[in-house]
A and B are shown apart, each in its own frame.
Chain A
Amino acid sequence: GDSVTQMEGPVTLSEEAFLTINCTYTATGYPSLFWYVQYPGEGLQLLLKATKADDKGSNKGFEATYRKETTSFHLEKGSVQVSDSAVYFCALSAGGGADGLTFGKGTHLIIQP
């Protein structure tokens, strides 16, 4: 079945550091890919998405590119802030989001001032 693998962390960085969170997936066909963020005590919020190969999703300084050849969707940000501290989930949907999402285990990101 479909699966998502991501680094679990915690990942601890200093403010203004460069961030990469790796995500790879296994799926049949051409899934849509998502990054969600969860702040403490809250639900998940969509951060960005990409629906086809070579698409780049971006939002709030975060970017991720859908790489079909490496089945990856790594999350990057050039300069992180303390407010970026959260848990980040990579996810896929075979049905473009119309069916259920398959999530990775989540990466806990801690940004220190």
Chain B
Amino acid sequence: DAGVIQSPRHEVTEMGQEVTLRCKPISGHNSLFWYRQTMMRGLELLIYFNNNVPIDDSGMPEDRFSAKMPNASFSTLKIQPSEPRDSAVYFCASSRLAGGTSKTQYFGPGTRLLVL
């Protein structure tokens, strides 16, 4: 089975440009998470969706960041305008929202973003 797919794997852009990161969750999973990893702050949850509905976006840094999940198999994280401090690795993860006490999150390989 294919894992979580993210694209692009690497992105270099200039300050002020719009950046769009994409994620395809594992088929059958109905929860999707966006995380950001930096040296200074470690791994932080940005936003997560259940059944395509945003549940918690309190980790989104500011209005320049937005995320959508138009259907069960696709999500985007957009930064507009981008700034150098947005440089980080962005991970998408998915899990199955089902009964039980523990729902494992499966991570994609990440998108390494560099804003010059």
Interchain CB contact under 8 A, A97 and B42: no
A69 within 8 A of B: no
B110 within 8 A of A: yes
B64 within 8 A of A: no
Q: Closest approach, in angstroms, between the C-beta of A73 and any C-beta of chain B?
A: 14
Across the interface, name the chain B residue whose C-beta is closest to A89: B43
Which residues of chain A from 32 to 66 have a CB within 8 Å of any chain B CB? 32, 36, 41-46, 49, 51-52
Q: What DSSP secondary structure best describes chain B's contact surface?
A: strand
Type the 1/0 row for B89-104, where 1 means its CB is closer than 8 Å to any CB of A.
0010101010011111
Inter-chain CA distance A19–B97, complex, in Å, is: 34
Which interface class (under 10, 10 to 19, 20 to 34, 35 or more) fits A?
Answer: 20 to 34
User: Using Cβ atoms and an 8 Å threshold, which residues of chain B touch A105?
Assistant: 42
* Known contacts A44-B107, A99-B48, A99-B56; is-contact A32 B91 (Cβ 8 Å): no
Interchain CB contact under 8 A, A96 and B105: no
Inter-chain CA distance A65–B91, complex, in Å, is: 28
Interchain CB contact under 8 A, B108 and A97: no
Q: Closest approach, in angstroms, between the C-beta of A60 and any C-beta of chain B?
A: 16
A78 within 8 A of B: no
Which residues of chain B from 45 to 74 have a CB within 8 Å of any chain A CB? 45, 48, 50, 55-56, 59
Interchain CB contact under 8 A, B103 and A96: yes
Which residues of chain A from 1 to 54 have a CB within 8 Å of any chain B CB? 32, 36, 41-46, 49, 51-52
Inter-chain CA distance A6–B4, complex, in Å, is: 27
Interface centre among A32, A44, A45 (most CB of B within 10 A): A44
Interchain CB contact under 8 A, B33 and A43: no
A86 within 8 A of B: no
* Known contacts A43-B110, A106-B42; is-contact A100 B59 (Cβ 8 Å): yes
Chain B contact residues, CB within 8 Å of chain A: 4, 31, 33, 35, 42-45, 48, 50, 55-56, 59, 91, 93, 95, 97, 100-110
Interface pairs (7), CB distance under 8 Å:
A43-B91, A43-B108, A96-B103, A97-B104, A98-B103, A99-B55, A101-B33
Chain A contact residues, CB within 8 Å of chain B: 32, 36, 41-46, 49, 51-52, 89, 96-106
Q: Return the 3 tightest CB-CB contacts between A and B, nearest first.
A: A100-B45, A43-B107, A97-B103
